[in-house]
Amino acid sequence: MQMMRGLHTPVRAIRRRVFKEVAELGFKADADTLLADMEAIPYAIVNEDAEKYRESVYRARAIVRERLRLAMGLSLRPENKPVHLTAGVEARNISEKYYDPPLMQVVPSACESCEENKYEVSNICKGCLAHPCQEVCPRDAISMVNGRSYIDQDKCIKCGKCKSVCPYDAIAKKERPCQKACGVNAIKSDKVGRAYIDPEKCVSCGMCMVSCPFGAISDKSQIFQLARALSEGENIIAEIAPAFVGQFGDNITPRNIKAALRELGFSEVYEVALGADIGAVAEAHHYVEKVVTGELPFLLTSCCPSWAVMAKKFFPDLIDQISQELTPMVATARTIKQKHPDAKVVFIGPCAAKKLEASRRSVRSDVDFVITFEELQAMFDAKEIDLTEYEAESSFHDATGAGRGYGCAGGVAEAIEKCINEYYPDVQVNIEHAEGLAECKKILTLAKAGKMNGCLIEGMGCPGGCIAGAGTNIPLPKAKKNLAAFVKNSSKSIPAKELEEITGRTYSRIHVVGGGSNAGYLNELTAKATGKEVHAGPGEATAIGNITAQMLKAGDFKSVEEARTTIHESFGIKIHK
């Protein structure tokens, strides 16, 4: 079932067409015709000349209408009262991020009410003499009817023993695909048997969405609002996740993507792997300083929002073990905002759950929009941009293979392990990783029971990691191969030793007492405290690191530790240990 991810099915074709139409609405940015244009889209997509996806064009249009609302960032309409298709659109006709929870929703009219869990004998049954299925059934639920095995559903306990012994594989296990893909048991049934997502359990990984063969589940999008912002000529900067490799075509290079994004309206393009590099260094120190010393029993990575949210929801006792380091998305965004304070930052990646992360109170000012690779391709389609026809003079910033490897399951832990081996060669690193929420729950259960002490534990909500996220365009095996080549061809394998010496111990774990949490504030304090003018980099921690480096170079301090201590005392900064 998981192999359906990344395939170009009719479900994906419909999603992409809807996204394309919505992007065109945003780029057009005509408030006078917006409502009429929106009402015309279902008829443009579903008509007598178009490919038939449903048994009825009327049902197909009804489903497209709800998909259209979700793509505009709106919620589904209620089934128990009349609400117009365009209701609420005026409030969303803005060039800023808009999010109306929940992120994931089931379109009721599209759901086929699949059976949840049932074993059924198919016509392959030979009615064999041995009938092992009948012999192993613990509830006598199987009998012979018209020469074939028959399962009494009232007696069946769904143990699966009959299926496991059938020599002809004649017994099928029927289960709801979306429910099978959900690792947190968030998929329930409504009163008429249609799928329903429990928002209290859902962590928005999107695996249910990509596993539904009827396309009945969809997430909300921000492409309309982003297209509006781009059309208005705002200063908008893209940060793109390392999983982008191969997502837009076999021969599409970083230079092609960079140029195409600029054609779309972005002023600059940054590589999120830069933030991953910083995070790998910080996590390495965190592990050595907290876990190796015994202060923490183990350390959980925090890069994957679905994994982190699941840990907080289902294992609240482990919150203190979740890393507090900035995720690559946020670290990169803050770097951009420090250099371009008036710019809007757009995260482009494979992950649906990043939309939730960007809506958190502590992050919403850093990341202005989040779109997936799938949504970006639709935006290229809307502007008729052929990536093969565009090529920038330079590629992305030169991140390391370690940071770029974050996109694959196990890559985060591997990057941190490499950093620890380089910076602390005498420290033994114990690595564990899990992919897919079901496996993540298992490893967290073991950790809670004390079976993972001393470990650095990486969790990825999507089986395969980011390259298999809900917003990707290509199958997992192909994405994995492409990313491995991208990592291998990186000019550097891990972040430089200088980054460890300058910023490692302070990154993301400092608190500025008395307000002010940016480099500009620290620059001002430095001038007041030392009488020297320095230019600090982005973020509090990197600012401290840059100030330290510059003052060491000037000979003001004899060692890094002396510099840090003096600067921290001057600024009134406490390092949380």
What pLDDT, in 10s, does the model give residues 314-365?
999 999 999 988 899 999 999 899 899 999 999 999 999 999 999 988 888 8
With a cut of 70, say whether residue 259 has pLDDT above it: yes
The Cα–Cα gap between 95 and 119 comes to 51
Q: What is the pLDDT of residue 446?
A: 97
Question: Would you state the pLDDT for residue 397?
Answer: 72
Higher pLDDT, 56 or 545: 56
State percent of the chain over pLDDT 90. 74
Among the listed residues 152, 171, 139, 453, the one whose alpha carbon sits nearest the alpha carbon of residue 299:
453
The pLDDT of residue 387 is 96
Question: Strand, coil or helix: what is 93?
Answer: coil
Alpha-carbon distance of 459 to 26, in angstroms, equals 36
Structure tokens at 400: 């390391």
Three-class secondary structure of residue 172 per DSSP: strand
CA 373 vs. chain centroid, Å, equals 11
Tell me the average pLDDT across 157-174: 96
| 368-402 pLDDT, tens digit each | 999 999 999 999 999 999 999 999 888 877 789 99
The secondary structure element, H or E, covering residue 550 is helix 540-553
| pLDDT (tens digit per residue) in 124-151 | 999 999 999 999 999 999 999 999 999 9
Q: What local confidence, expressed as pLDDT, does residue 438 receive? A: 96
Token pair of 140 as six digits:
């006598």
**pLDDT exceeds cutoff 80 at 511:** no
Q: Which pLDDT band, with edges at 50, 70 and 90, does 577 fall under? A: very low
pLDDT at 558: 61
What pLDDT score was predicted for residue 535?
46
* For residue 528, pLDDT beyond 70: no
CB-CB contact of 505 with 559 (8 Å) = no
- Reported as a pLDDT band with limits 50, 70 and 90, residue 16 is very high
Mean pLDDT of 93-100: 79
Q: What is the mean pLDDT of the chain?
A: 87
Q: What is the pLDDT of residue 29?
A: 84
Taking the C-alpha atoms of residue 467 and residue 471, their distance in angstroms, rounded to an integer, is 9
> What is the three-class DSSP state of 542?
helix
> pLDDT tens for residues 421-480?
999 999 999 999 999 999 999 999 999 999 999 999 999 999 999 999 999 999 999 999
Residue range 481-495, pLDDT digits in tens: 999 999 999 989 998
Q: pLDDT value at position 250?
A: 92
Residue identified by tokens 């590629």 is 395
Greater confidence, 98 or 73?
Answer: 73
- What CA–CA distances, in Å, run from 113 to 79, 176, 199? 16, 8, 19
Position 575 confidence tier, pLDDT thresholds 50, 70, 90: very low
pLDDT at 308: 95
For residue 287, pLDDT beyond 90? yes
Among 83-87, 410-414, 544-548, whose mean pLDDT is lowest? 544-548
> Which residues fall within 8 angstroms of residue 524, CB to CB, at 6 or more apart?
none
Q: pLDDT at position 545, please?
A: 54
Q: What is the pLDDT of residues 200-244, one digit of tens each?
A: 999 999 999 999 999 999 999 999 999 999 999 999 999 999 999
Of the candidates 257, 290, 9, the residue with the CA atom closest to the CA atom of residue 300:
290
pLDDT at residue 566 is higher than 50:
yes
